[in-house]
A and B are shown apart, each in its own frame.
Chain A
Amino acid sequence: AQKVTQAQTEISVVEKEDVTLDCVYETRDTTYYLFWYKQPPSGELVFLIRRNSFDEQNEISGRYSWNFQKSTSSFNFTITASQVVDSAVYFCALSEREGGYQKVTFGIGTKLQVIP
C-alpha cells in the first residue's frame, strides 16, 4: 500500500521568512516518482517538480528547493524568502506502478499562508 503524509495541514509565515513543507511517503517499490503541485486560491493545480526514485539530487529553482531523502522516505519542499504570491495549498504526490497503471496518490495538502 502506498501512502503520502503531509503532516502540516496549515502553516502561516510572515513574508520573507523561509518555510519548509514536509512530505513523507511509504512504498515498497524501488521505482517510483514524487511530485509537488501548487493550488493557488484561484483553484487550478500547477505542476512544480517531478523526481524519480533513482535521482536523489536536490533541486533548486529560484526560491524553491526540494530535498529528497530515500533513507527517511521524505521529499520536502522549501520556499526561501516567501512572498504573498506563495500563498496556496501545496500537494505532494507519489506515483508507482500498480498492475499496468502508474497510480498516483496525493497527500491531503498543506495550506500555506504568507502574511505581508
Chain B
Amino acid sequence: DAGITQSPRYKITETGRQVTLMCHQTWSHSYMFWYRQDLGHGLRLIYYSAAADITDKGEVPDGYVVSRSKTENFPLTLESATRSQTSVYFCASRVLAGGGNSYNEQFFGPGTRLTVL
C-alpha cells in the first residue's frame, strides 16, 4: 500500500547501544522529517531532508544521525542511546512546495515507540 511506514513500531534497547529507526515512503515526496514527541513538548524536529543526499539539522539533533541515499528512505540512527532519548519518533514527508502561496502539509508515519533502559 502507498504511504509512509516506520519500523520497528516498538523498540526497547539499553543505554549505549546503537539503534536505527527506519522510515519509508512510497509517494516520492521530496521532503522527509524526523520528529520526537514528548509529553509537554509536542513534536520537535530532529532532522529533515529536502532531497536525496541533502539533510539538515532541526531543533534537537544532538545524539542522532540521518542519511538519505534514496528518496524513499530516511533512516534515523541513535549512535549511543541515552535514557533521554526515550520517546515516540515520527517520520513525515511532504511534496516539494509549489510556487506562490502554496505549501503542502506533512504526512506522518505511524510512529516508533522507543524505550532506552
Interface, chain A (partner B; CB < 8 A): 4, 31, 33, 35, 37, 43-45, 47, 50, 52, 54, 91, 95, 100-104, 106-109
Chain B residues 90 to 116 lying within 8 A of chain A, measured CB to CB, are 90, 92, 97, 101, 103-108, 110-111
Say how far B59's CB is from chain A's closest CB, in angstroms. Answer: 8
Interface centre among B41, B104, B106 (most CB of A within 10 A): B106
Q: Which of A37, A43, A109 contacts B88 (CB 8 A)?
A: A43
Residues B42 and A109 in contact, CB atoms below 8 Å apart: yes
Of chain A, the residue at the smallest CB distance from B9 is A43
CA A4 to CA B41, docked complex, whole Å: 11
Asked if B48 CB lies within 8 Å of chain A CBs, one says: yes
Q: How many residues of B contact A (CB 8 A)?
A: 22
Residues B88 and A102 in contact, CB atoms below 8 Å apart: no
Residues from chain B with a CB closer than 8 A to the CB of A50 are 103-105
Interface, chain B (partner A; CB < 8 A): 40-45, 48, 50, 56, 88, 90, 92, 97, 101, 103-108, 110-111
Residues B43 and A106 in contact, CB atoms below 8 Å apart: yes
Q: Which of B48, B90, B101 contacts A45 (CB 8 A)?
A: B90
Residues from chain A with a CB closer than 8 A to the CB of B44 are 106
Residues from chain B with a CB closer than 8 A to the CB of A107 are 42
Residues A91 and B42 in contact, CB atoms below 8 Å apart: yes
Residues B45 and A104 in contact, CB atoms below 8 Å apart: yes
Residues A104 and B40 in contact, CB atoms below 8 Å apart: no
CA A91 to CA B43, docked complex, whole Å: 9
